[in-house]
């Protein structure tokens, strides 16, 4: 089930994601701009930073990239994560790792 944004909230998030596309390297900026919108819906919303575990060097989403990602930032809202991989609808936290990431067992995350 997608996040139940109000139409105006969804449009703002879609614009943020369009302004910070996948290969821009600006996922942190996008998450920072999404956060206050998310906190209206869920005051417990926060950013998460995804990094490679141990000796791994990159985080590898399932989508093709032109440049490798050393880390990634998403926004946690309700029971979802929202970022350029999920679009404004978000992906439920329970499905996010398997749906969007190669080798999710090689990733770790923390609130940021």
Q: What single-letter DSSP state applies at residue 44?
A: T
In-domain check, residue 84: yes
Q: What is the mean pLDDT of residues 67-95?
A: 97
Give the start-end residues of each E strand in the chain.
46-52, 72-77, 80-82, 91-92, 107-111
Give pLDDT, residue 97. Answer: 97
In-domain check, residue 1: no
Q: What is the mean pLDDT of residues 67-82?
A: 97
17 is in which domain, residue-wise?
A: 7-111
In-domain check, residue 58: yes
Q: What is the mean pLDDT of residues 39-64?
A: 97
| Total count of domains within the chain | 1
pLDDT 10s digits, 27-38: 999 999 999 999
Sheet holding 80-82, edge to edge: 91-92, 80-82, 72-77, 46-52, 107-111
Predicted structure pTM score: 0.94
């Amino acid at each position: 089930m997608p996040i139940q944004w109000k139409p105006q909230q969804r449009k703002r998030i879609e614009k943020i994601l369009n302004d910070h596309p996948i290969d821009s390297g600006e996922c942190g900026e996008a998450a920072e701009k999404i956060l206050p919108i998310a906190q209206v819906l869920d005051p417990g919303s926060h950013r998460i930073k995804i990094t490679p575990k141990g000796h791994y060097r990159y985080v590898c989403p399932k989508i093709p990239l032109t440049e490798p990602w050393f880390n990634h930032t998403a926004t946690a809202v309700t029971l979802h994560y929202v970022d350029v991989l999920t679009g404004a609808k978000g992906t439920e936290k329970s499905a996010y790792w398997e749906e969007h990431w190669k080798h999710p067992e090689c990733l770790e995350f923390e609130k940021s």
